[in-house]
Homo-oligomer: A and B are copies of this chain.
C-alpha cells in the first residue's frame, strides 16, 4: 500500500496570497474566509435551514428579483449554466444561442446535449449580439422556447446589452436566459426590471467568494415552463423540480448541500449589500476607466468595442511574449492575470477587476508592473504615462 510514501510527499498546505486580477477567482476577503471556516452544521439542522433562507433573501436582493425560485446550485458557474439549460429544455425544443466567445459556445454545447435544436447567432469573438439579429432569428424560428445570451463574455470582455433584446424575446413568447457569471455584483443587472426568465452566475467573480456555488434565479414564467415539462430533467443532481423542494418550505432531502460554501456565499452577499449595489457598480466602473486609460497609454488596445468594467481584454502587442510576461507578473509581482482562450490564445490578456479585487491600489500596481515588464520586452514607453493617465481618471471622478 502506497499510503505512507504518499503521505510524506504531501506537506502542510501553504498557498501564496496572490493578487488575483485574472478572469476569476477574485480576491476573497478575510471575512468570507472566516465564515467559510465556521463549524459545519448538518444540512437539515434548523440553524442551517435559517442560513439557507437568509442566503436566498440576500441573493434575491443582489439579483434584484422577487423570484421565489432563487437559490445557489451546488456546483461552480458552469453547473449553473447546465442547471438553467437542462431544466428549461426538453429533447426537441428549439433554442437560440448567441455565440461570440467561449461561454456562448459552451451554452450551445450544453443545450445540444439536452436535446435542443440550437439556432446559433454567431458573431466574431469580441463583438456583441445585436437586437436585430435576435429579432431575425426569432422570425425564422418562431417555435423557439429559449433565447440564451451571455451578459458578460469572460473570454472576450464583451458587455452584451440586454434590455432591447428582452422586449423582442418576450414579444415572441420565448424565455430569456442570461449568463451573468462575470457581471452579478459588479455590473448593473436587473432581473425583474429587464424581465430575465433565468439567470446563473458564479461566486468567484464579482461576489468575491471562493468558487463552488452557482447562484441561479428563475422567473415565474420559467418556473411554469419547468412545471409543464413532459419529461424528467435529464440531470438528477440539477433537477430544480426537486432542488426547490429542499430550498422551499417542504425541506425535502435531495442532496447534501455544500454547507461551508453557503456560509461563505452568505457573507460575501452581506458585504455586497453593505457597500450597496449602486456604489459597488460605480466602483467597478471607476477602476475600469482608470485601468483602461493606463492600459491604452501602454499601447494595450481593448478587444471588445463594448467592454465590461469587470474584465479587461486587451491585445498583446506584437513581439511581446505572452507566457514570459504572465509568468514574471506571477513570480516577481505576485499578480495573476489571465491569458487568452480559443482564437485569442497567446494573443490577449484578460485583466479582471472584480469584487474585492477592483481597487485603486490594484490598478496602480498592475499598471506599474506591466510598464516595467513591457519595457523589458522592448516596447518603447514614456515612463510614468500609464499611471498619469489612470490618476487623471480618479481626479476627474
Could you list which residues of chain A lie within 8 angstroms of chain B, going by C-beta atoms? 1-4, 6-7, 9-10, 13-18, 20, 22, 24-25, 27-28, 33-43, 45-48, 51, 54, 57-58, 60-62, 64, 74-79, 82, 106, 109-110, 112-114, 202, 204, 210-212, 232-237, 253-261, 263-264, 266-267, 270, 273-274, 276-277, 330, 336, 341
Contact = CB atoms under 8 A, between A and B. Distances in A.
14 contacts: A2-B61, A6-B60, A7-B58, A7-B274, A10-B57, A10-B58, A10-B266, A18-B41, A25-B40, A78-B236, A78-B256, A82-B235, A82-B236, A234-B235
A35 B79 CA distance: 25
Contact of A110 (B82, B236, B258): B236
Contact of A270 (B10, B237, B273, B276): B10
Contact of A237 (B10, B75, B236, B255): B75
Nearest to A16: B47
A221 to B, nearest CB: 21
Given A15-B48, A77-B256, A10 B236 contact: no
A170 B205 CA distance: 46
Nearest to A62: B3
A236 B61 contact: no
B61 A6 contact: yes
A273 B45 contact: no
A48, A257, A258, most chain B CB atoms within 10 A? A258
Contacts of A37: 33-34, 36-37
B15 A273 contact: no
Contacts of A273: 3-4, 6-7
Contacts of A264: 260
A1 B106 contact: no
A24 B256 contact: yes
Contact of A41 (B3, B16, B48, B259): B16
Contacts of A267: 13
Given A6-B61, A28-B39, 17 more contacts: A2-B60, A4-B273, A7-B58, A18-B45, A25-B43, A33-B38, A33-B39, A36-B260, A77-B255, A78-B254, A82-B237, A211-B258, A212-B212, A212-B259, A234-B235, A258-B261, A260-B264
A109 B255 CA distance: 14
A25 B256 contact: yes
A349 B154 CA distance: 48
Nearest to A53: B10
Nearest to A274: B7
B9 A54 contact: yes
Contacts of A7: 58, 61, 270, 273-274
A341 B252 CA distance: 10
A253 B154 CA distance: 13
A97 B19 CA distance: 49
Contacts of A114: 234
A88 to B, nearest CB: 15
Contacts of A235: 82, 113, 234-235
A239 to B, nearest CB: 8
A75 B64 contact: no
A261 B22 contact: no
A103 to B, nearest CB: 11
A152 to B, nearest CB: 15
Contact of A256 (B54, B61, B202, B253): B202
B236 A113 contact: yes
B234 A113 contact: yes
